[in-house]
Amino acid sequence: MQTPASMVMGIVFSPLGLVLVFTAAITPQWREGHARLTVSGTGSFLRAKGQGTRSGSAEVLLLRSDGLWESCMQVEHSELRQCWPVTGPYQRDSRVRLAQGLVLTSLFLCGIGIVLACIGVRCWTDLPLRGVAASGGILVVFAGLLSLSALGVYTHNLKRLGTDPSQRISNPKLPQLSLNPAGSLYFGWLGSCLQVVGGSALLFCFKQPRCPTCPSRPDQAVCPACRSCPEMTSKTDMDVYEVSC
């Protein structure tokens, strides 16, 4: 039996989308920003880097990145890097929590959908379980839409997450952090689109194939489970399966 192209497409794209969304969820690069900070001191470290000045001050670039569950800080051109679980206003932000819930639900539904699709395809048997495979496709599509919603909410509010405009303090001495989309968002967008495409391909399994009719009995369809047509009994099993499925 030849496996339908829609099933093959769904089985390939759905797990790939799941891996990409999972990678995006666990990496702390949903947004990133940098700020320049002036450090005072006359240490040999700063002079060795060529950043020392007559006044003993130096300007360093701080790199900050945030994910759904982890944040990181790094000094540019150095191995100084520290990561910690998200805390404070960013953790309590309702939009961040909404994105976390949507992504977790998306991963769960996509995993179940892939399992159902694998059971429905059943490449080791004569006839696939089209209804089971298509049901898995529905879950995968829904999972892709959930992850797209999470990415949309986060991207739309990217620069406002973890901030309270009513309590914002304007201090020129504090470094200004410019925030931009980071790599994990692009992984998430790509993975979500692959989930939608893979799940949509599996939905074609709801469409039953049209079996050829028996030339001597037009009212009878010839399928692998029906061998009463004399014109078809002489053909090999592979020929019948390829025509039917």
Output the six-digit token pair for 19: 């891996």
Output the six-digit token pair for 44: 């040999």
pLDDT of residue 187: 93
CB neighbours (10 Å) of residue 221? Answer: 14
- Cα separation, 56 vs 37, whole angstroms: 14
Residue 62 forms beta bridges with which residues? Answer: 35, 75
What string of pLDDT tens digits covers the 245 residues of the chain? 566 778 888 999 999 999 999 999 999 989 888 777 666 654 444 444 444 444 556 677 778 888 899 988 888 777 777 888 988 888 888 999 999 999 999 999 999 999 999 888 876 566 777 888 889 999 999 999 999 999 999 999 888 887 765 555 444 444 566 788 888 999 999 999 999 999 999 988 766 655 555 555 555 544 544 444 544 444 444 333 333 33
Can you name the CATH fold of 5-29+90-163+178-206? Butyryl-CoA Dehydrogenase, subunit A; domain 3 (1.20.140)
pLDDT of residue 47: 43
Q: Give the DSSP letter of residue 201.
A: H
CB neighbour burial string for 136-150, b if at least 16 within 10 angstroms, e if fewer: bbbbbbbbbbbbbbb
55 in helix, strand or coil? Answer: coil
Domain extents in the chain: 5-29+90-163+178-206
Output the six-digit token pair for 63: 């790199």
- Cα separation, 230 vs 237, whole angstroms: 14
